[in-house]
Amino acid sequence: MRWVILSIGFIIFNLGQLISQNATYITDKLYVLPDVIIDNIKSNGNESVTYDLRVKQLVNHSNPGEGHFYQRVFLNHVGIDKPTVIVTEGYSCNAYRPAEVSKLLDANQISVEHRYFGESLPSLKNYDYLNLKQATTDLHHITTLFKTIYPQKWISTGISKGGATTIFYRYFYPDDVDVSIPYVAPINKEFEDKRIYQFLDTVGSDECREKIYDYQVRMLESTDKVLPLLSFYAIGANLTYNYLTIGEAYEMAVLEYPFSFFQWGSDCDDIPGINSSIEEMVKYLLEVSGIDFFSDKMMIKYASHYYQSAEEMGYYGYDINNFSNYLTYLPTDTNPHAAFVPDKMEVSFNGELLNDIHEWINRSGNQFIYIYGAKDTWSASAISPSEHTDALIFMMEGENHASARIRNLSLNDKKLLVTNLERWLDIEIIYD
């Protein structure tokens, strides 16, 4: 179909006029858009222009009297005659990164930093307002604003926690976008999602899982030799351990190792063997799971993520049935959990929203394309196919959290994806 180029409240430009005045036109539009501040403008050497924006958001969308903050947003403008992709980041966002979907559709892109991450912080970080209803209302406010500039089709997408945010956004505001494409998006079912354990007990070959377990046991049996090396590493890397002791962090890293191994597609042939030195074994652990992840710096960086996980998104823990006799620093009366809430505050998990989300997806989750890697640990929490919805799920064999992408789909699967996008968006897509 031909795209109709609309100019809201102004005259209609023809395509040639629009291209020649593209950057000036959109900048003028942004300057008068309510609640939007232009922080920086970068020309990309063609008609594409990237804007670093700040969008005014209410801390509590149900009560304007509780103040506001400014949310960081990156807009890459291609043309008002193009579709628009909104990237729902799950964490911080400090630069424009073109999404696969944006390149596939030659689309405008709006990347939204998640509230309470990066620079998108209220002056008082009240965690009562860090919930999915508030976060998706941020997205709704942005979409509502920018639809006055971009009247064509809208697509939401995100990766990992950002992919989960794409799903939650569509649940709360089902009419904001026409299509949603979440990548490697876990939608958990409980605070400690037991499906993770089942996945790790069955993924890969028996031989590989045995090598993983043997390596973990050898590491835990060597704790007295390992900790001095890790303490030396922590000093050099400027890492501190107050939330967890370095002993606790080390044991957490060993328990985390299988999760990270399959999440990021590590190779079984790289696992240190029985004759490997302590130095080689430690170096390998640092490469695959690491103790950095359990340092004070990372606890602070991901505090908001952990709060969300503990309060309503759910997360995972570590099954210690086969490790309790080897642990020295962690408690052995319960499975350690991977969500480290800020300042060790008391947080009560409520799973009602997750239950509602799963029911809604199976009943009303139309125009979705879910992309997962079959070897990615987070695929344990993948969305299940439903015959009641008009949606696609690609479980990509051999792919992991980083490689489960449209570019790695088989030719037939890529054709299926494009065909459905064309049907849902009523456009023609040219792809390789």
In terms of domains, do 49 and 144 share one?
A: yes
Indicate if 113 and 222 belong to the same structural domain: no
In a domain, 91, yes or no: yes
Query: Does residue 366 form part of some domain?
Result: yes
Whether residue 199 is found in the same domain as residue 329 = yes
Q: Which long-range contacts (CB under 8 A, 24 or more apart) does 378-382 make?
A: 378/160, 378/184, 378/185, 378/186, 378/263, 379/184, 379/199, 380/186, 380/193, 380/195, 380/196, 380/198, 380/199, 380/200, 381/186, 381/187, 381/188, 381/189, 381/193, 381/195, 381/196, 382/185, 382/186, 382/187
**Domain's final residue, options 344, 376, 395:** 344
Count the Cβ atoms, other than its own, within 10 Å of residue 37.
14
| Co-location of 156 and 83 in the same domain | yes
Sign of the dihedral defined by the CA atoms of residues 59, 64, 70, 75, in that order = positive
Q: Which phi and psi (to 5°) does residue 104 adopt?
A: -60, -40
Q: 232 and 329 in one domain?
A: yes
Which pLDDT score, from 0 to 100, does residue 22 have?
A: 62
Question: What does the DSSP assignment read for 69-97?
Answer: EEEEEEEEE--TTS-EEEEE-SS---S--
Same domain, 327 and 420: no
Residues 339 and 393 in one domain: no
Q: Are residues 199 and 278 in the same domain?
A: yes
Report the pLDDT value the prediction gives residue 220, as an integer from 0 to 100.
98
CATH code, domain with 88: 3.40.50.1820
Task: Give a yes or no: residue 84 inside a domain.
Answer: yes
Choose the final residue of a domain: 294, 310, 344: 344
Divide the 432 residues of the chain into consecutive groups of 10 and give the mean pLDDT of each group.
33 35 81 96 83 98 97 96 98 96 98 98 95 98 98 98 98 98 98 98 98 98 98 97 98 98 98 97 97 97 97 98 97 96 94 97 97 98 94 98 98 98 96 80
96 and 131 assigned to the same domain: yes
Which of 344, 367, 389 is where one domain is finished? 344
**Alpha-carbon separation of residue 386 from 160, 186, 216, 364, 397 (angstroms):** 21, 16, 38, 10, 20
- Beta-strand relationship, 49-58 and 391-396: unpaired
Domain count within the chain = 2
Residue 59 lies in a domain: yes
Which residues form the domain of 415?
15-189+352-425
Q: Within this chain, do residues 87 and 148 fall inside the same structural domain, yes or no?
A: yes
Residue 114 counted as domain residue? yes
CA dihedral 137, 139, 143, 146 (to 10 degrees): 120
